[in-house]
């Protein structure tokens, strides 16, 4: 079943550079969860030097190591205005790991080099002298619902939030934003950033549907997303949560 026209248009930023943690897997989940409801996803891939399409509903920035982030940071800074316009208009913006850091005000890498962020999230990141690695479990409240979200983290950056955003969730397991304040990720309206990858969406169908719901709402098609059989996804979620529990 298909509506014939894409319900959600997703802009995938720098798929050739920020993609180390199966970011395409997250996008595949968005696509399938829409298709299972008879809806379509259209993906615009945007690389270095490409213009930002103004008509997307969800802007996605994936993960990368410091060297990959350095390659895109200046180019991304040049795209800040159209991205801010879209976000201010209500588009969904999701940054994962390296992409999360670049949604903030800037990132100071381990070798001392600094790179600009685009300031869509009020946060700052500085690399520490160790990496924060492992399974993560957190409690997340969005749209009045609270769920457990699971994932994997691997980052040197320590991220500290300013007053303009709130943490995505409170940690049960893992290091999160900075290894010290018990928080993971950031949210401001429909802008979201997280260190969780692995990828994130296959194990967290609830979160995927929240983001799709926001994108559909912005697209002018607010729909009650039909429930799906998530038992495989919930099994993956349970395995990750159990593994995280054993690491302590
Ligand atoms: N380069 C960043 C860091 O190590 C982000 C890493 C990543 O995307 N995994 O903090």
User: For every one of its 248 residues, what pLDDT tens digit does the chain have, with 9 covering 90 and above?
Assistant: 444 567 999 999 999 999 887 789 999 999 999 999 999 999 999 999 999 998 999 999 999 999 999 999 999 999 999 999 999 999 999 999 999 999 999 999 999 999 999 999 999 999 999 999 999 999 999 999 999 999 999 999 999 999 999 999 999 999 999 999 999 999 999 999 999 987 899 999 999 999 999 999 999 988 889 999 999 999 999 999 999 987 64
- Tell how far the Cα of 242 is from the centroid of ligand 1, in angstroms: 25
Say which of 56, 97, 165, 183 is annotated catalytic: 97
- Tell how far the Cα of 154 is from the centroid of ligand 1, in angstroms: 7
Burial group, residue 32, by CB count within 10 angstroms (0-12, 13-18, 19+): middle
pLDDT at 79: 98
Is the beta carbon of 62 within 6 A of some atom in ligand 1?
A: no
Is the beta carbon of 156 within 6 A of some atom in ligand 1?
A: yes
Q: Which atom of ligand 1 is nearest to 66's Cα?
A: 1
Ordered alpha helix ranges (H), 190-230: 205-218
C-alpha 7/C-alpha 155 separation (Å) is 34
Is position 197 annotated as part of the catalytic site? yes
C-alpha 54/C-alpha 35 separation (Å) is 24
Q: What is the pTM of this model?
A: 0.96
- Tell how far the Cα of 240 is from the centroid of ligand 1, in angstroms: 21
Is the beta carbon of 154 within 6 A of some atom in ligand 1?
A: yes
- Tell how far the Cα of 174 is from the centroid of ligand 1, in angstroms: 16
Mutate-to-test residue for ligand 1 from 61, 97, 102, 193, highest number of ligand atoms within 8 A of CB: 97
- Tell how far the Cα of 58 is from the centroid of ligand 1, in angstroms: 22
Residue whose pair of structure tokens reads 């690491």 in the numeric block: 247
pLDDT at 5: 64
Is the beta carbon of 19 within 6 A of some atom in ligand 1?
A: no
Structure tokens belonging to residue 158: 């320590």
Is the beta carbon of 63 within 6 A of some atom in ligand 1?
A: yes
Mutate-to-test residue for ligand 1 from 64, 73, 124, highest number of ligand atoms within 8 A of CB: 64
Structure tokens belonging to residue 233: 């996804």
Which residues, other chains included, contact 52 with Cβ-Cβ below 8 Å and sequence gap of 6+? 11, 46, 79, 82, 83, 86
pLDDT at 247: 60
pLDDT at 2: 45
Is the beta carbon of 177 within 6 A of some atom in ligand 1?
A: no
pLDDT at 224: 87
Is the beta carbon of 178 within 6 A of some atom in ligand 1?
A: no
């Amino acid at each position: 079943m298909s509506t014939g026209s894409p319900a959600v248009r997703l802009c995938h930023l720098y798929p050739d550079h920020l993609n180390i943690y199966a970011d395409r897997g997250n996008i595949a989940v968005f696509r399938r969860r829409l298709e299972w409801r008879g809806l379509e996803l259209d993906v615009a891939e945007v690389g270095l030097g490409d213009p930002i399409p103004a008509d997307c509903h969800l802007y996605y920035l994936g993960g990368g190591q410091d060297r990959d982030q350095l390659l895109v940071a200046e180019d991304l800074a040049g795209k800040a205005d159209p991205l801010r316009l879209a976000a201010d208009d209500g588009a969904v913006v999701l940054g994962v790991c390296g992409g999360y850091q670049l949604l903030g005000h800037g990132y100071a890498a381990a070798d001392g080099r600094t790179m600009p962020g685009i300031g869509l999230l009020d946060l700052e990141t500085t690399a520490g002298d160790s990496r924060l690695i492992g399974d993560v479990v957190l409690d997340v409240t969005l749209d009045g619902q609270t769920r457990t979200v699971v994932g994997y983290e691997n980052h040197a950056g320590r991220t500290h939030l300013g007053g303009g955003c709130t943490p995505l969730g409170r940690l049960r397991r893992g290091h999160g934003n900075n290894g010290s304040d018990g928080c993971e990720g950031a949210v401001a309206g429909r802008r979201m950033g997280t260190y969780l990858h692995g990828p994130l969406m296959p194990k967290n169908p609830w979160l995927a549907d929240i983001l799709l719901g926001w994108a559909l709402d912005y697209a002018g098609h607010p729909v009650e997303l039909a429930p799906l059989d998530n038992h495989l996804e919930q099994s993956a979620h349970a395995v990750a949560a159990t593994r995280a529990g054993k690491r302590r």
